[in-house]
Each structure stands twice: as structure tokens, then as C-alpha cells.
Amino acid sequence: MELKPWYPSDYRHALENILTSNEVDRILSKPDCGPRFVYGPLMLPTVLKYHIHMNQQIDISKNMTQATLHGYRICQFAGSSPPVIIRSTDPRSTVQGILIFDLNNEQRNAIYDFEAGLMDLCSVQVDIWQWDDEYTRSVRTVDGVGAFQWNSPTDGLTPLEAASWSVDRFLESAFYEHVWRSQMAVEAEEQLSASVQLGEEANPHLSSEQQLSPGRDRSRFRSSLDDIPEM
């Protein structure tokens, strides 16, 4: 998948992240922590954490890595709709997305609530890169991966030319802006609460989102949007 310099830093890290073989072995050996393959908005760590109710300060991108699903095609209803996947009659067809490791039952159920409806949860195999040692990497097939596939008539679905869904337009959308603002508001409330506990006074003229600590980088989730040139 394409990695652009203006993408959110946590998403860039997820795209570049490769786990060691020992890390993959350790995570897969945990009970009730089956990985999930995502190929739409949930590839963005900020959006993923919003839907699974995870604190934005947690770096979930370290448990994410690029993955390839074989025998499926990625499609859309319309140009702005989230993608779906369907089985392909062409065994050479692939879908590129992100594999998420180390999710607990509650987090996986939250993903189910987001994806279910016109989608069925199925078990698939995906290929990922892993580091075998400091200098050598290899392809590893991961079994028993949960992925959501389209379960309704395929009329109206348009296969994408590429094997992956581009996040570019989504990052410019009102929904992503809403997710970012919601998460920043939650983070601001947590910082405000911590300040009160420490006996610090909050500025009553500032909103909860504005009451971020002075040294806080407020652009860490939105920096990609700020750098998009106007068309």
C-alpha cells in the first residue's frame, strides 16, 4: 500500500511496522486474542481506537502490520463509501490491508458491531512480513484471521482497480474530522481531570478541547489534514 508523507504518523507507523517472528509467536499463543484483518477506515489507528473505545494515548500501531488476503476482491458501492470484500473467481486476486494483533474479546466485539449487518465474519489466511533476525525478513502465513466479507447481492458493487482502498478522501471527510475532534475532547477532559487532582486551576474561558497542556502536540492526529493542498 502507498505510504504518503502527509498521512497521520500512527498510520504511517502501522504501514511500516514489521514484527519479529518471536513477537508473532508470542501474540498468537495468547488465548482469545485472534487477529483481525481490516481494509477500510479501521486501518487508521485513530479511527480504530475510536470504535473500540481505546485511549488515544495507547500506541496500537505497534500491533498492526500490512497484510495480503488472497482469493478476494475489494469493491465499493460508490466513490465515497467504505470498501467491502467479496470472494473472487480469480485465485490471483488479492486484497491489501492491515492485520491487527492482540485485541481482547471486548475490542473484537466492538469491531463486529461496527462491521456487521451486510457483512459476515469469516476465517481467512493472510500473508505478512516478519523479521527472522536483525537482517532477514520472510513471508509468514497467519491462519484463523477474522475478516468481514459482503453477504448481500453484488449488484451495484464496483471492483476497485487497486488491491487496496485509498484513505486519502476519507482523511478529508467530515466523519474523520468528527472522530479526531471527539478523541481530542476526551483526551482534554482526561488532562483537565488530572490537573484538578493535582490542584491546578483550569481556565474557565477555554473549552475542554482547548484546555490541552501547552506542550501538547494537538496536530498529531490531524497533521495529515493540515498538509493537504487545496484543489
- The answer to whether 21 and 132 are in contact (CB under 8 A) is yes
* Separation CA 201–CA 19 (nearest Å): 43
- The answer to whether 64 and 45 are in contact (CB under 8 A) is yes
Residue type, 186: V
Walk me through the domains of the chain, giving residue ranges and CATH numbers: 9-193 (3.10.490.10)
- The answer to whether 52 and 110 are in contact (CB under 8 A) is yes
Q: Among 47, 42, 17, which residue's Cα sits nearest to residue 148?
A: 42
What DSSP line would sit under 82-141, residue for residue? PPEEEE-S-TT-EEEEEEE----HHHHHHHHHHH-SSEEEEEEEEEEEEESSSS-EEEEE
Query: How high is the pLDDT of residue 213?
Result: 33
- 118's CB contacts (< 8 A; 6+ apart) are 84, 150, 151, 152
DSSP 8-state symbol, 18: -
Cell, residue 145: 484471521
Query: How high is the pLDDT of residue 180?
Result: 81
pLDDT in tens, 60-91: 999 999 999 999 999 998 767 899 999 999 98
Residue 119 — very low, low, confident or very high, per pLDDT cuts 50/70/90? Answer: very high
| DSSP 3-state of 67 | strand
pLDDT in tens, 120-144: 999 999 999 999 988 899 999 999 9
- The answer to whether 219 and 2 are in contact (CB under 8 A) is no
pLDDT in tens, 168-212: 999 999 989 988 888 777 767 766 766 676 765 545 544 444 443
* Separation CA 81–CA 90 (nearest Å): 24
The dihedral of CA 24, 29, 61, 71: what is its sign?
Answer: positive
Distances (CA, A) of 149 to 42, 95, 224: 15, 12, 29
Query: How high is the pLDDT of residue 191?
Result: 66
| Torsion angle of C-alpha atoms 161, 163, 165, 167, degrees rounded to 10 | -110
